[in-house]
Amino acid sequence: MIENINLLNSINLFLIIKISLEVFLFVYAIIAIVVIRQIKFMTKTIKSDANKYLFILAYLHLIAVFITIFITLTTL
């Protein structure tokens, strides 16, 4: 019983939140990469002048995700 209480005291809530946030951000980065791939397939089937803007927006989004991951890993 005492051992269980000591275990609960040793678990750091901040560490759990940090690890959860990092896992979420890595999954989100994978989703951002999939979005770029989907845009690439879409531009092959639908020809439009807006395709280059979609690519730019998707890559800026991916860069923002990687910057967020970097900041999270270095500061938390």
Residues 6+ apart with CB under 8 A from 36: 55, 58, 59, 62
- Total-model pTM: 0.73
Q: Where are the beta strands (DSSP E) in 1-76?
A: none
Q: What is the Cα–Cα distance from 31 to 34, expressed in whole angstroms?
A: 5
* pLDDT, tens only, 1-60: 556 666 666 677 778 888 899 999 999 999 999 999 999 998 889 888 888 899 999 999
- Taking the mean position of all CA atoms in its chain, how far away is CA 19? 13
Q: Is the dihedral of CA 51, 57, 61, 63 positive or negative?
A: positive
User: Counting runs of H as helices and runs of E as strands, what totals does the chain give?
Assistant: 3, 0
